[in-house]
Amino acid sequence: METIGVGLIGSGFMGKAHALAWNSVGPVFGDVPRIGLAHLGDASDELARRKADEFGFDRASGDWRRVIEDPNVDVVSITTPNKFHLEMAQAALAAGKHVWCEKPMAPNLADAEMMLAAARASGKVAVLGYNYIQNPLIRHIRRLLDEGVIGEVNHVRIEMDEDFMADPEAPFQQRHEAANGWGALDDFGVHPLSFIVTLFGEVSKVMCDMAKPYPTRRTPEGDRDVEVHDLVTILLRLNNGASGFIACSRTAWGRKGRIALQIFGAKGSITYDQERMNEFQLYVTSDRETEQGFRTILSAPQHAPYDRFIPAPGHGLGFNDLKTIECRQLIGRILGQDSVGITFEQGILIERTVAAAGASFLEGRWVDIA
């Protein structure tokens, strides 16, 4: 392919992140076809035109269907609220376009299964937006696990916390609507599950609890019931027999972008925190007892593809850099290259785990992953 034509649906936070990635992937990696920013769609013609000018897209439409119909579009970035993912992904895949859809896959398992069926029927590349797993250090942690540096893993803990819903006086927003899913379980919980899928494989069973710290939120018309849960705790068992624990909160004052990963093995431990995403800690029992302790490893050019961004260690990558890496992996998959990422095939494992966790909460019991 000499050119990859890009369509973008949605121009909010994640839409901008996709646009930045499409604009930077060529200069950063230097080994991809020319990227043509063909068509941007949003809720109105005026908004779409303004954002198209800001992001560098040739055409703009207030109807997302025009983006998919554009013959110059080869791949569609879907960055809209979760409840629109099914219809948009189905339409794009049916039109012969590749799809890059933001997480979570869909608000419910039935929609996710239909998205997977559409991807299989189309034969096109369909991937989900899980950029945290693209961190070069997460790739390196996977290598350490594969090499047995900390021995057989027996326990994994992951906590994801932010405070953008911590204020009890904050107004009701669309994330509080049940139409978008369970709440913290599929808004946040899917990120720790993407780590699980990437580092360890599948989950075999779960036990879940959820809570609403603030059961109502204010609107101009008065208080409105919050329809989802902003706290979730999940006990899990991995297919390899290891135990696990995931805890997520959207109301944790002081936490801004925390995904705290702890991996415990027979010969050591690994810890990582997304708020300090350019370092991780390694403890190995093979060190002499007099020097045993956690060592901090900083991101460096030796942790590819960090070297594509910065030639010196310790300078650090950011959120949007991970999105650029994710974009390069998508392009590689389109070109038939080995790639890292969460495809619809892998994403359905996450969605089935979410559905099982939801069922566990409603039924108050352990639930096996089908």
Give domain 3-132's CATH architecture. Answer: 3-Layer(aba) Sandwich (3.40)
User: For 127-139, what is the HEC assignment?
Assistant: EEECHHHHCHHHH
Q: Where are the alpha helices (DSSP H) in the chain?
A: 13-29, 45-55, 64-69, 85-94, 109-122, 136-146, 184-187, 190-199, 319-334, 344-363
pTM exceeds 0.85: yes
| Domain 133-313+343-368 in CATH 3.30.360.10 | yes
Domain ranges of the chain: 3-132, 133-313+343-368
Q: How far is CA 307 from CA 50, 158, 325, in A?
A: 34, 28, 12
Q: How far is CA 150 from CA 131, 192, 303, 337, 351, in A?
A: 25, 20, 19, 30, 29
Is there a contact between 75 and 100 (Cβ–Cβ < 8 Å)? yes
Question: The tokens of 118 are what?
Answer: 């559409």
Q: Which residues contact 129 (CB under 8 A, 6 or more apart)?
A: 14, 18, 79, 100, 101, 102, 103, 323, 326
Is there a contact between 230 and 214 (Cβ–Cβ < 8 Å)? yes
pLDDT per residue, tens digit, the chain (370 aa), is 799 999 999 999 999 999 999 999 999 999 999 999 999 999 999 999 999 999 999 999 999 999 999 999 999 999 999 999 999 999 999 999 999 999 999 999 999 999 999 999 999 999 999 999 999 999 999 999 999 999 999 999 999 999 999 999 999 998 999 988 899 999 999 999 999 999 999 999 999 999 999 999 999 999 999 999 999 999 999 998 999 999 999 999 999 999 999 999 999 999 999 999 999 999 999 999 999 999 999 999 999 999 999 999 999 999 999 999 999 999 999 999 999 999 999 999 999 999 999 999 999 999 999 7
